[in-house]
Structure 1
Amino acid sequence: MRVVCVGGGPAGLYFAILMKRQDPAHDVTVYERDAAGSTYGWGVTYWDGLLDTLRACDPESADSIRAGSVCWRGGTAHVGDRTTVHDGDRGFGISRHRLLEILARRAAALGVRVEFEREWSPEDPLPDADLVVAGDGVHSALRERFAGHFRPTAVGGRNTFVWLGTTKRFDTFTFSFVETAHGWIWCYAYGFGADRSTFIVECSPETHRGLGLDSANEGEALELLAALFAKPLDGHRLIGRAEADGRTRWQTFRTLTNERWHRGNLVLLGDAAHTTHYSIGAGTTLAIEDAVELAAAVLREPTTEAALRGYEQRRKSALLAAQSAARLSAQWYENLPRYLRLPPSQMFALLGQRHSPLLPHVPPQLYYYLDRTAGRLPAMRGCKRWLGSRLARAAQKQRGKQRASA
C-alpha cells in the first residue's frame, strides 16, 4: 500500500511505524507542517496500560519511551492551607518533544519518510495514496475540507485554562486549590523530566477576569500565578509560551466529536476525530490506541473500505467510557465550589469519583458516605451502579435531543 499520514503527532507517527512493521513493502510517508524539533505542549502523561500496548506492538519504541519517561505514583491535594496525600496507580510523564523525537527516529529507521514543514490546506488536493490518514489535530484541514461529510461538532467548556511548565519536578500527581477574592483557581501538575513538570492552571471565567488574567501580559500572569501557587511550587518558577502580542495562551477546552470518521480512502485519527478533556489525562493514549486499531483493521480486513468501517465502529465503541468520564470530569471542575468545603480527604475521594454520573445528583457528603458503605455492601454497590447507569442513559438521551434540535 501507499500510505500518507498528514500530521506528525504521536498517532500519525505510531501508525506509520505499525504499518512498516506489518509489511516493509508498504510505502509510508508522514507530512508534518512544523519544523523538525518544533512542537507545542510540555509533558505527556500515561499509565501502565499504554506501556503494555506499546510493548505488544513495537517493543523497541516502547523501551525508548519508558527510558525517556519519569515515574510518579499517587496524588497530593493542597486545599488552601490543608494537604492530603493518597496512594494510587503508577503514572509516567515524558516531554512531548522527546516522545515525538523517539517516534520519528523509529519510523525513519523502519523506512518511513518523515517530511517536515509540509502543510496541507483545505484547498489542496488529497495526497495521491491508497490510504490518507488525517492526523493533523483538532483543527484538521483535511477534516474541515469535507466537514459536510464528517459532520464535526465542537462543544466549548465553561472554564478557562492555560498550559504551563515549571522547573519543579513533581513526584506525585499534584492538585492545588486556592481561594481568592474572585473565586477559586487551581492547578494540575505532574513531572515529565528531571527538572520539569507540566503545570495546568484552570479557573472560572469570573475568576479569570476578576484576577486581571484576561488583560495581563505573560510576565504579569506568571508572577501572579507563581504567588498564588507558592506552596506547591516551593520557590520554583513557572514557564510560559506567550502569544505574539505577549499575552498568555488562556483558552477554553473544546470537546470534538465527528458523526463519521472516514470518507473513501481518507480516515480521521486522534484529535482530528475526537478530543477528551485534559483532566482525565488520556488524549495521547487514546490517539495511539486509534493508531493501533487502524493498523490492525488494515491487516485484518480484505479491503480498505472494510478496514476503515471496522476501525470506526470499534474505536467509537471503545471511546464511549472515556468520553463519558471526560464530560463528567470537566463538569466536576466547573462545579468545584460544591466540593471544596468538605474535609480534604473527602474532597480528594470525590475527586477520584468525578467520573460517576451519580455524583452530580447527590449531596457531596452524602455521596461520600454512600460510596464508603457501597465498598462494604455488595447490594449497595449494585444499587449505585444501577442509579448511575440510569442517569447516564438519561443524560445521553438529552444530549441526543440537543444535537437534533441544533
Structure 2
Amino acid sequence: MKIACVGGGPAGLYFSILMKRQDPGHDITVHERNPAGSTYGWGVTYWASLLDRLEEHDPESARAVRENSVRWSDGRAHVGDRTTTHRGDEGFGIGRRTLLDLLAERARALGVRVEFEDEIADGAELPDADLVVAGDGVHSGVRERHPEHFGTEVVLGRNKYIWLGTTKVFDAFTFAFEETPHGWIWFYGYGFGEDRSTCVVECSPETWTGLGLDRADEAEGLVLLEKLFARPLDGHRLIGRATAGGSAQWLNFRTLTNRTWSRGNVVLLGDAAHTTHYSIGAGTTLALEDAIALAGALGARTGQGRAELAPALDAYERERRAALLSVQSAARHSAQWYENLPRYIGLPPAQMFALLGQRHSPLLPYVPPQLYYRIDRAAGRLEALRRLKRWLGPRVARTLHARRG
C-alpha cells in the first residue's frame, strides 16, 4: 500500500512503524508541518501496561521508550500545608520531544519517509495515496475538510488550565491544592527527565479572573503561580510557552467526538478522532493503542487489495469505540470531580486523596463524600478477605486431604 500519515505525532509515527514491520514493501510518508525537534508540551505520562503492548508489537521501540523514561510508584497530595502519600501503580514519564525523536528515528530505520516542515495546507489536495491517516490532532485540518461527514462535536470543560514545565523534579505523581481569596487552584505534576517535570495548573473560571490571570501576560502569570505554589515547588521556577504576543495559553479542555472516523480512504487517528480529559493521563496511550488497532485491522486484510480498505477501517473503528467507552466515562467523571472540588477539599487529606483516586466512579457525585469513603473502605476490607480466602482455600484443602490420607 501507499500510505500518507498527516501529522508526525506519536500515533502517526507508531502506525508507520507497525505497517513497515508488517510489510517492508509499504510506501509510507509522514507529513509533519513543524520543524524537526519542535513540539508543544513538556512530558507525557503512561502506565506499565502500555510498555507491555509496545513490547508485543515492536520490542525495539519499546526498549528505547523504557530506557528514556522516568518512573514512580507513589502519589502525593499537598493540601495547603498538609501532605499525604499513597502507594499506587507504577507510572512513567517521558519528554514529548524525546518520544517523538525516538519514534521518528525508528520509523526512518524501517524505511519510512518522515518529512518535516511539510504542511498539507487548507484547500490543497491530500497526498495521492491508497490510505490517508489523519493524525493531525484535535484541530485536524484533514477532518475539518468534511466536518458534516465526520459529525465532529466539541464540548468545552468549565475549568481553565495551562500546561507548564518546571525545574522541580517530582519523585511521585504530585497533586498540590492551594486556597486563595478567590477559590482553590491546583496542579498535577510528574517528572519526565533528570531536570524537568510537567506541571498542569487548573482552577475554576471565577478563581482565574479573581486572581487576575485572565489579564496577566505569561511572565506575570508565572510569577503569581510560583508564589502560590512555592511550598510544593520548593521554590523552583515554572516554565511557559508564550504566544507571539506574550499572552499565557490558558485553555478550556475540548472533549472531542466524531460520529464516524473514516471517509473513503481517509481515517482519523488519536486526538483527531477523540480526546479524553488530561486528568486521567491517557492521551498518549490511547493514541498509540489506536495505531496498534488500525495496523492490526489492515494487516488482517493484507493482500486483498484496496477494495478491502473499507471493512478494515470499519473494524478498526468498532474495536476502538468499544475500548474507549470505559475510558471516556472515567475521564468525564474525573473532570467533574475537579469542577466540584469544594465538595471534597475540606475532608482530611487521607480521605480526600482516597476519593481523588475514586474520582472515576459514577456513584461518587451522588453519595455524601464521607459516607462514600466509609463504604469504599469497608468494600476494600471485604475484598482483602476474599483474596485471603482464595489464597487459603487450596492450601487448607491440600492440608486436610494430606491428613485424611
State the TM-score, normalized to the length of structure 1: 0.92
Are 1:211 and 2:238 an aligned pair?
Answer: no
Q: Is the 8 A contact 1:121 1:142 kept in 2?
A: no
**Partner deviation per Cα, 1:88-123 (whole Å, 9 max, x = no partner):** 111110100000000000000000000011112341
The aligned counterpart of 1:404 is none
Residue type at the aligned position of 1:7: G
Residue type at the aligned position of 1:329: S
Q: Is the 8 A contact 1:217 1:248 kept in 2?
A: yes
The aligned counterpart of 1:263 is 263
State the SS of the aligned residue for 2:154.
Answer: strand
Are 1:157 and 2:162 an aligned pair?
Answer: no
Are 1:360 and 2:365 an aligned pair?
Answer: yes
How much has 1:231 moved relative to structure 2? Answer: 0.9
Q: Pick which of 359-368 and 113-122 moved more.
A: 113-122
Structure index of larger Rg? 2
State the SS of the aligned residue for 2:221.
Answer: helix
Aligned length: 379
Q: Aligned equivalents of 1:54 and 1:345: distance in 2?
A: 35
**Partner deviation per Cα, 1:354-399 (whole Å, 9 max, x = no partner):** 0000000011011101111222347xx9xxxxxxxxxxxxxxxxxx
| Selected match of 2:309 from 282, 304, 308 | 304
The aligned counterpart of 1:393 is none
- Aligned runs of 1:10-159 on 2, under 5 Å? 10-159=10-159
Q: Aligned equivalents of 1:82 and 1:74: distance in 2?
A: 17
Q: Pick which of 368-377 and 108-117 moved more.
A: 368-377
Q: Aligned equivalents of 1:79 and 1:365: distance in 2?
A: 17
The aligned counterpart of 2:374 is 369
Q: Aligned equivalents of 2:152 and 2:122: distance in 1?
A: 15
- Aligned runs of 1:180-259 on 2, under 5 Å? 180-259=180-259
State the SS of the aligned residue for 1:87.
Answer: strand
Q: Aligned equivalents of 1:82 and 1:186: distance in 2?
A: 14
The aligned counterpart of 1:342 is 347
Are 1:294 and 2:299 an aligned pair?
Answer: no
Q: Aligned equivalents of 1:287 and 1:246: distance in 2?
A: 31
State the SS of the aligned residue for 2:125.
Answer: coil
Q: Aligned equivalents of 2:128 and 2:167: distance in 1?
A: 45
Residue type at the aligned position of 2:81: D
The aligned counterpart of 2:327 is 322
Aligned-pair identity (%): 70
Q: Aligned equivalents of 2:361 and 2:25: distance in 1?
A: 47
State the SS of the aligned residue for 2:192.
Answer: strand
Q: Aligned equivalents of 1:211 and 1:31: distance in 2?
A: 42
How much has 1:238 moved relative to structure 2? Answer: 0.6
State the SS of the aligned residue for 1:256.
Answer: strand
Q: Is the 8 A contact 1:186 1:203 kept in 2?
A: yes
Q: Aligned equivalents of 1:321 and 1:91: distance in 2?
A: 20
Q: Is the 8 A contact 1:122 1:144 kept in 2?
A: no
Q: Aligned equivalents of 1:189 and 1:145: distance in 2?
A: 37
**Partner deviation per Cα, 1:209-228 (whole Å, 9 max, x = no partner):** 00000011111111110010
**Partner deviation per Cα, 1:129-165 (whole Å, 9 max, x = no partner):** 1111000000001100011110010000000000000
How much has 1:319 moved relative to structure 2? Answer: 0.4
Q: Aligned equivalents of 1:305 and 1:185: distance in 2?
A: 47
Q: Aligned equivalents of 2:141 and 2:182: distance in 1?
A: 39
Q: Aligned equivalents of 1:130 and 1:247: distance in 2?
A: 42
Residue type at the aligned position of 2:312: A
Q: Pick which of 240-249 and 172-181 moved more.
A: 240-249
Q: Pick which of 103-112 and 368-377 moved more.
A: 368-377
**Partner deviation per Cα, 1:39-62 (whole Å, 9 max, x = no partner):** 000001011011001111111111
Q: Aligned equivalents of 1:256 and 1:15: distance in 2?
A: 21
State the SS of the aligned residue for 1:252.
Answer: strand
How much has 1:340 moved relative to structure 2? Answer: 0.5
Q: Is the 8 A contact 1:7 1:33 kept in 2?
A: yes
Residue type at the aligned position of 1:147: P
The aligned counterpart of 1:7 is 7
Q: Aligned equivalents of 2:27 and 2:219: distance in 1?
A: 47
How much has 1:30 moved relative to structure 2? Answer: 0.3
Q: Aligned equivalents of 1:121 and 1:53: distance in 2?
A: 34
State the TM-score, normalized to the length of structure 2: 0.92
Q: Aligned equivalents of 1:285 and 1:66: distance in 2?
A: 14
Q: Pick which of 63-72 and 202-211 moved more.
A: 63-72
State the SS of the aligned residue for 1:157.
Answer: strand
Q: Aligned equivalents of 1:39 and 1:307: distance in 2?
A: 31
C-alpha RMSD over aligned residues: 1.0
**Partner deviation per Cα, 1:288-343 (whole Å, 9 max, x = no partner):** 00000000000113411111000000000100011000000000000001000100
Q: Aligned equivalents of 1:347 and 1:225: distance in 2?
A: 23
Q: Is the 8 A contact 1:163 1:198 kept in 2?
A: yes
The aligned counterpart of 1:177 is 177
Q: Aligned equivalents of 2:378 and 2:62: distance in 1?
A: 41
Q: Aligned equivalents of 2:376 and 2:220: distance in 1?
A: 43
Q: Aligned equivalents of 2:212 and 2:245: distance in 1?
A: 16
Q: Aligned equivalents of 1:104 and 1:219: distance in 2?
A: 33
